[in-house]
Amino acid sequence: MEPLKSGDAHAPALLTNLEVMDLLQERLAARSDASSSPPDGTPLSFQSRDWIEQTVFDYLKSSPAGSSEVKLNDMPKLVKTLRREPSVATTASSDTHDVELDESTDNLKGYGLTTAETLQVLNHLPTSLVELHLLVEDLEKRIPEEEKQMEFLRLLAQYSGMDVEEAADGEEEDEEEGADDMEE
């Protein structure tokens, strides 16, 4: 397992919950294989460590990242898409370059998330617009169209296997009317 690393050699590598869970799973499996040899179990000095690792693993397993179907080998592609700046396919000037852009339009889509936002999104795997707005700063300015925001959620759903909660337009209109009635 290779953790996702930033380009700065002095900055600590940020690990997603899925990566930590995978690391803990490897450690717990190795320890369970090795623990069959000592007759009286784990030495007392390591029992606290073992309990902490098992508790953290259990917690992460119950989190959205742990209950999803995301695989570690799929994450770099998803991270690349989340971090890539949104681009417009009409900026190309040469004819051959235009053809390449048309063929790989899906590969050019990006959302321009920061490192921290990418980490939050991967750890929480939002399934609704409300959750997405809580994780991405100024989402309404950066991705103004609601359809693009839903497309973002559907992209996450492809990787996580979780269902996206579709926005209900009728409910929003009813809420606005109810707020107007209360003001009067």
Give the type of residue at 177: E
Neighbours of 81 (CB within 10 A): 20
pLDDT of residue 6: 54
| C-beta of residue 168 within 8 angstroms of C-beta of residue 72 | no
Of 144 and 44, more confident: 144
Q: What 8-state DSSP symbol labels residue 39?
A: T
Structure tokens at 67: 């209950």
Residues 50-98: pLDDT tens digits? 899 999 999 999 988 887 777 788 888 888 989 888 865 433 343 433 3
DSSP 74: G
pLDDT tens digits, residue range 150-164? 999 999 988 888 888
pLDDT for 71:
77
Kindly report, residue by residue over 161-177, the tens digit of the pLDDT. Answer: 888 888 665 444 445 55
